[in-house]
Amino acid sequence: MGIFLQKYFDLTKINTSFSFAPFYQFLQKRIENEDDVKRKMLQYFATRIEEAGVQERDIHADELPKYKDLLDILYVSLTSITIDGTRDIWGITAPFMSTFAYGTPSLYKSFIDVETGWLKPEFISNFKEIGMVALKNIYKTILHQVYNLAHQSKDEFIYKYLDHNTGLYRFYKINFNHDFIDIKCNSELPEIDETVINGITDDDNFLRYMLKTLPLTEFRFRGFGVLTITDVTQQQSLDHIKERLWKLKADDSCHEPLFEDLQIAVKSLLGSNKIEIGAMPFILLNNKMVRHAGEGLLTNTTLDETEIRAFFKEIEASGKPLIINDVREAPVTSLFIAKLLDSTPYVSYAAIPILYQQKVLGIMELYAAEPGLITSEKIKLLENLYAELAQLMKMGHEIFEHSIREVISDHFTVIQPSVAWRFNEVAL
**pLDDT, tens digit, for every residue of 98-152?**
678 899 999 888 888 777 777 777 776 666 677 777 788 888 888 988 888 887 7
pLDDT at residue 409, rounded to an integer: 61
Provide φ and ψ at 141, rounded to 5°: -65, -40
The confidence band for 388, taking pLDDT boundaries of 50, 70 and 90, is: confident
Ranges 193-207, 221-235, 282-296, 385-399, most confident:
221-235
Q: Are 290 and 400 in contact (CB under 8 A)?
A: yes
**Rounded average pLDDT over 41-45:** 90
Given 3-state DSSP classes, what are the helix, strand and coil percentages for the chain, each rounded to the nearest 5? 55, 20, 30
**CA dist 45 → 26, 41, 69 (Å):** 11, 7, 11
Range from 65-79, 188-202, 288-302, 342-356 carrying the lowest mean pLDDT: 288-302
Looking at every residue in the chain, the average pLDDT score rounds to 82
pLDDT at residue 415, rounded to an integer: 52
**Rounded average pLDDT over 348-359:** 89
> What pLDDT digit, counting tens, does each position of 298-347 carry?
887 678 888 888 888 888 888 899 999 888 887 656 788 888 898 899 99
- 329 Cβ neighbours under 8 A, 6+ residues apart: none
Question: Which comes out higher in pLDDT, residue 358 or 166?
Answer: 166
**For the chain, how big is the Rg over CA atoms in Å?**
30
> Is the predicted pLDDT of residue 283 greater than 90, yes or no?
no
pLDDT at residue 405, rounded to an integer: 61
> Is the predicted pLDDT of residue 6 greater than 70, yes or no?
no
pLDDT at residue 423, rounded to an integer: 47
d(CA 129, CA 64): 28
pLDDT at residue 246, rounded to an integer: 79
d(CA 133, CA 130): 5
